[in-house]
Amino acid sequence: MEAWQIFHKKHPDATLLVAGNVPYKNEFDVDVYNNLNVNFVLTYLSDSDYINFIATSKCVVLPYTRGTNSGVVYTVISMSVNIITSDIPMFQSNYFLNSGMMFKNGDVDSLVLVMDAVYKSKKSPKYNIESYRDNFRGVIVKLYHDLLK
């Protein structure tokens, strides 16, 4: 949220949606962000809302500080939406994610720089999906070929 306050000064027309069932929502003062184009949906998201929020976004930011797996990443990638992540090991080891779209974990200025670059970019995201599919297809064909010998 600190990064958004800095980013919003440079891009006052940009909007941010903070969505999901967060455990600390009762301790979070959403009124602080009234004039910063931030919308909060701090509840459990239906599948429809989840997909719609991603589909209508230019970018999804996952500022995780730790983790071992995230299905959100694969949903965003499959929908060809830009994704910014922290540089935690879970994301660094993900074949599909672009290290140029990662920010230094816990570094607000690093996040602002990446958000700024993505916001200004006209490019569609590239996620190595085609090469993964080609490789997977080759592995499966070889497996069946070897099994049917």
Between vectors from CA 74 to CA 72 and to CA 75, what angle results, nearest 5°? 65
Q: Is the pLDDT of residue 78 over 90?
A: no
Task: Report the alpha-carbon distance of residue 20 to residue 39 in Å, rounded.
Answer: 12
146 has pLDDT over 90: no
Please check the confidence at residue 24 and state whether its pLDDT lies above 80: no
Cα three-residue angle 26-53-114, rounded to 5 degrees: 85
β pairing state of 16-19 and 38-41: parallel
Helix (H, G, I), strand (E, B) or coil at 130: helix
Task: HSE, CB side, 13 Å, CA atoms: give it for residue 80.
Answer: 5
Percent of the chain with pLDDT over 90: 59
Per-residue confidence (pLDDT) for residue 129, from 0 to 100: 66
The yes-or-no verdict on residue 130 having pLDDT over 70 is no
Residue 21 — pLDDT band, cuts 50, 70, 90?
confident
96 vs 9, more confident: 9
What is the pLDDT averaged over residues 111-128? 84
Residue 131, pLDDT > 80, answer no
Overall average pLDDT of the 60-67 stretch:
92
CA distance 41 to 52: 13
Which pLDDT tens digit goes with each residue over 81-112? Answer: 999 999 999 999 988 888 889 999 999 999 99
